């Protein structure tokens, strides 16, 4: 991993309301501009087959200056770039799960990797590079697949975006000598020659980031107009990405409710997580009930908004704190994780509906943001494996059964008798899946169970009936047969 990492920070502004109003006035004009630009960018993608680097907006007017159009164009192209990235991922998964084989399959992956789905077909093929050309028929197939992909990856309607990404030509970032803020952003308004100057105040996280070696303040500003008319201003800091950690080892992580993170090294992080959420829930529910009784909308209540803010802050801090603790061990260069399922977790935790939604929305965002920043700042990679049956699979012998999990925290294998803390066992299974190339991200739960059973049977020379009979014997542990003594099973741990 190399290049630059960019992060945006919202800074407190001390501008007059009247200035914010003049900035907010730009939004509808900007949105209309984005809509027009978006249509043009899309037209170019679908006719030339390539994401344009430039769109000529001369004479478009529409209330924006040429410099403002430059920013609108850059924002629109950046948005399409990320949209194409999403299409590429879904396309790859679609082909991987399909019955297409041989050269056509290889060609489709190649077309996808080159994002060449819409290159015009002339004659009997398309030359993607001087060395490789793709038959016309495969190109037509690629477009049919893209048609399906696009029903799943909708293009965002940019006319509804409330963030204007303004580059330095229309939002100049300056460092003043006076005391009215740490930065000024000089923003061009809808009236030529009448910019407004917004004072912004730096905070700790922003300054820490800026103090990193090689950090640079970008000369542009993200201006977000909230629905209540207030305006948020974000400045962006570029930092060089740290080189990837190499030569290190992988650690498996299991997410849970009673313990937020358990690792394959045997550590439990965030043990009080669920208790704290329940305590918040005990305050949230009566407050919501009282507001409803009095006919007050939730979002109109200051207390409610503050409490929700607290809960979000707690979840985010807890995720960051635990992941920082885990990677403090710098022999670790890769985190192996299960595909996130906060909704499932939240159901287990017996929380209110509102709290479950808070956890699932905030938790996912916090984890994704943190993992992205670990990759950028620390070079720690993330590998995802399928979570199906990880809590039921024995790391000792491979036997997978619901009855292995005797309580929320206890795992006791019904075949080899191995006992382990359930969450730590789960983390070890997660790690084992990565180390043995059993990521299985495209398989469903049933397919995975079939594969686990197959591995287990062939490992111990058992028949179908043996496995079924064991699984159906609930409660008591099934005695191992003579061919599979507990000692022998433990002598071949899967992750070794």
Which residues form the interface with Zn ion (CB under 5 A)?
Answer: 394, 396-397, 399, 413, 415-416, 418
- Of 261 and 399, which CB lies nearer to Zn ion in the complex structure? 399
Number of H helices, E strands in the chain: 14, 16
- With respect to Zn ion, which residue has the nearer C-beta, 333 or 423? 423
For residues 359 and 348, what is the distance between their CA atoms, to the nearest angstrom?
Answer: 12
CB of 394 to Zn ion, least distance (A): 3
Distance CA 310, CA 281 (A): 12
Question: Are residues 430 and 336 in contact, defined by beta-carbon separation less than 8 angstroms?
Answer: yes
Minimum Å gap between C-beta 95 and Zn ion is 37
On the 0-12 / 13-18 / 19+ scale of CB atoms within 10 A, 186 is middle
Query: Which of 269, 418 has the CB closer to Zn ion?
Result: 418
434 in Cβ contact with 336 (< 8 Å): yes
- Shortest distance, CB of residue 490 to Zn ion, whole angstroms? 8
Nearest distance from residue 486's CB to Zn ion, in Å? 8
Q: Which is nearer to Zn ion, 196 or 397 (CB)?
A: 397
- Minimum distance, C-beta of residue 400 to Zn ion, in the bound complex (Å): 9
CB closer to Zn ion, 69 vs 399: 399
Count of Cβ atoms closer than 10 Å to residue 9 Cβ:
18
Say if residues 112 and 145 touch (Cβ distance below 8 Å): no
Q: How far is the CB of 389 from Zn ion (least distance, A)?
A: 13
- Report DSSP letters for 336-405, one per residue: EEEPP-HHHHHHHTT--HHHHHHHHHHHHHHHHHHHHHHHHHH--EEEEE--TTTTTB-TTT--B-GGGB
- Nearest distance in Å: CB 464, Zn ion: 18
Judged by CB, which is closer to Zn ion: 256, or 396? 396
C-beta neighbour count of 149 within 10 angstroms: 22
Residue 217: strand pairing partners: 237
Q: Closest CB to Zn ion among 76 and 401? A: 401
Distances (CA, A) of 8 to 238, 278, 287: 9, 33, 34
CB 280 to Zn ion: min, Å: 38
Distance separating alpha carbons of residues 381 and 392, to the nearest angstrom: 26
Task: In angstroms, give the least distance from the CB of 75 to Zn ion.
Answer: 55
d(CA 9, CA 338): 30
Nearer to Zn ion, 285 or 495 (CB): 495
**Minimum Å distance from CB 413 to Zn ion?**
3
Question: Are 281 and 358 in contact, with CB atoms under 8 Å apart?
Answer: no
Question: Which of 184/415 has CB closer to Zn ion?
Answer: 415
> Based on the number of CB atoms within 10 Å of its own CB, is 292 exposed (0-12), middle (13-18) or buried (19 or more)?
exposed
């Amino acid at each position: 991993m190399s290049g630059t990492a960019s992060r945006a920070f919202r800074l407190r502004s001390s501008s007059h309301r009247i200035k914010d109003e003049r900035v907010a006035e730009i939004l509808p004009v900007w949105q209309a501009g984005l809509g027009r630009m978006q249509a043009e960018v899309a037209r170019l993608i679908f006719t030339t087959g390539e994401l344009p680097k430039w769109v000529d907006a001369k004479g478009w007017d529409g209330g924006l200056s040429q410099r403002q159009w430059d920013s609108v164009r850059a924002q629109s192209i950046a948005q399409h770039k990320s949209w194409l990235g999403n299409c590429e991922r879904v396309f790859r998964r679609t082909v991987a799960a399909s019955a297409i084989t041989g050269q056509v399959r290889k060609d489709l992956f190649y077309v996808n990797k080159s994002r060449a789905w819409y290159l015009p077909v002339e004659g009997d093929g398309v030359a993607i590079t001087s060395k490789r050309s793709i038959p016309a028929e495969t190109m037509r197939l690629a477009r049919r697949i893209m048609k399906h992909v696009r029903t799943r990856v909708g293009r965002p309607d940019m006319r509804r975006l409330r963030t204007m990404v303004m580059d330095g030509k229309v939002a100049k970032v300056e460092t003043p000598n006076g005391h009215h803020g740490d930065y000024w952003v000089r923003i061009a308004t809808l009236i030529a020659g009448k910019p407004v100057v917004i004072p912004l105040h730096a905070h700790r996280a922003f300054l820490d980031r800026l103090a990193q070696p090689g950090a640079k303040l970008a000369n542009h500003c993200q201006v977000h107009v909230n629905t209540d008319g207030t305006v948020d201003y974000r400045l962006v800091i570029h930092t060089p990405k740290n080189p990837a950690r190499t030569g290190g080892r992988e650690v498996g992580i299991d997410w849970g409710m009673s313990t937020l993170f358990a690792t394959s090294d045997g550590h439990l992080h965030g043990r009080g997580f669920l208790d704290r959420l329940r305590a918040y829930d005990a305050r949230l529910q009566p407050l919501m009930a009282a507001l409803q009784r009095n006919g007050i909308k939730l979002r109109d209540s200051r207390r409610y908004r503050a409490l929700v803010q607290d809960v979000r802050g707690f979840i985010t801090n807890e995720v960051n704190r635990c992941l920082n603790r885990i990677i403090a061990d710098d022999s670790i260069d890769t985190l192996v994780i299960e595909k996130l399922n906060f909704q499932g977790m939240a159901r287990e935790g017996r929380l209110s509906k509102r709290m479950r939604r808070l956890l699932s929305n905030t938790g996912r965002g916090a984890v994704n943001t943190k993992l992205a920043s670990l990759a950028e700042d620390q070079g720690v990679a993330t590998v995802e494996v399928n979570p199906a049956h990880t809590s039921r699979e024995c790391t000792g012998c491979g036997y997978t059964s619901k009855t292995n999990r005797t309580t929320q925290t206890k795992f006791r294998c019904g075949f080899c008798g191995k006992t382990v803390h359930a969450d730590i066992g789960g983390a070890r299974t997660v790690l084992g899946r990565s180390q043995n190339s059993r990521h299985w991200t495209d398989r469903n739960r049933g397919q995975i169970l079939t594969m686990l059973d197959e591995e287990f049977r062939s490992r111990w020379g058992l028949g179908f009936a043996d496995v079924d009979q064991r699984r159906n014997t609930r409660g008591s542990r099934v005695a191992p047969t003579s061919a599979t003594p507990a000692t022998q099973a433990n002598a071949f741990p899967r992750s070794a």
